Each structure stands twice: as C-alpha cells, then as structure tokens.
Amino acid sequence: MPDATPDAGFACPDLTRFCRLDELGLEVVGQRLDPDLAVLACGVVEPDGWCRRCGCEGVARDTVVRRLAHEPFGWRPTTLEVVVRRYRCTGCGHVWRQDTSKAAEPRAKLSRRGLRWALEGLVVQHLTVARVAEGLGVSWNTANNAVLAEGKRLLINDPTRFDGVKAIGVDEHVVRHEALLVRMEVRDLHRPAVVAAG
C-alpha cells in the first residue's frame, strides 16, 4: 500500500494529544469504542517512586484503576480508565499511589478537561445540567456537584471577580418551557463574561 500521508505539516496520529491528555499528565495506551461510549485506557506519565515520608525508593506493589469522565468527542461520553501504580517504601513501609492530581482532584469523578467542558457547557452554551451529565456519561448529581464546587472555587471565592467591571446586566430566561425553569445570569456588559449564574 503506498504511503498516503501528506508530507507538509502533518504528523503521525496521536490520540493522547488529540484528547488533550498530555495536559493532564496521562498517556493513552489503549481504546475501546462502543456505539454509546468511548473508553481510553491511560497510564500516568510521571513516575512517582520515591517515598514522601522518608525519601527512600519504593517498589511497585500493584495497580488500581481510577475511572474519570472526560470531555466527550462527538457527543459520545468518554471515560478514562487510568492505571495507577501503588508503591511500598523499602525503608519505612509506607504505601502510596502515583500522583494523579494533574488529571483530577482527589476523589473526583471528572477529569479536569471534563470539568472545564461541563462549565463551558453550562455558562457559554447554556446547556442544562441534565444535558451536561448525559454528555459526560455521569449522573445528574455527579455533574451538578462537580460544577457547583468548581464554580464556587472560580467565581464565588475569587475576590477580584468584579475588578474592572463598570456595568452589570441581569438576564433572566426560561431554560425549559415545560418545567418553567428560570436561569439568571449576571454579566459584565463591557466584556463577554458571566460573573455569576444560577
């Protein structure tokens, strides 16, 4: 079969970069595509083999799988199955897991890219929490709790969020007519920025 790859400006396909997992410190090692779900098997790129307590080298003990909802591609929910090594210290016996904080908060069910996708969906695209949850392949509660926590961290806890704002506009509109759910946004009228939503 002749080489059909164009020469100028093209590189070999790279699923890790395409799915933006390099930003999360992960590397794709396998994939499973179902009609309604994409699952990417990932490994943590950075080794984490030194004890945080005594500084001795650890020995790989076993692995665990951490499942994270990631941003969907083509509205197909994408799940990351991250294989995380567990180590045991040769000095003090302490056991720890590889650091996955670049990929997600501890105990989080959404990757950092999945969480960003959810926030942009709600604030910019005006999607409902139900639609965001469907896109991520998680429950409504999981999506809602993650978005509320991140929104609070980014907006409510930021004392500089009104810096430079000269005029504020309030916009109310019905999101779903049959249930008469109302969404209210507080916007900076001089920049395209939402400073609060509810």
pLDDT tens digit at each of 198 positions of the chain = 456 656 677 788 899 999 999 999 999 999 999 889 999 999 999 989 899 899 899 999 999 999 999 999 877 899 999 999 999 999 899 999 999 999 999 999 999 999 999 999 988 888 899 999 999 999 999 999 998 898 888 777 778 877 887 776 666 555 554 554 555 555 555 565 555 555
Q: How far is CA 18 from CA 13, 24, 83, in A?
A: 8, 12, 20
Give pLDDT, residue 165: 76
For residue 195, give the 3-state DSSP assignment: strand
Give pLDDT, residue 101: 94
Give pLDDT, residue 183: 54
Q: Are 46 and 55 in contact (CB under 8 A)?
A: no
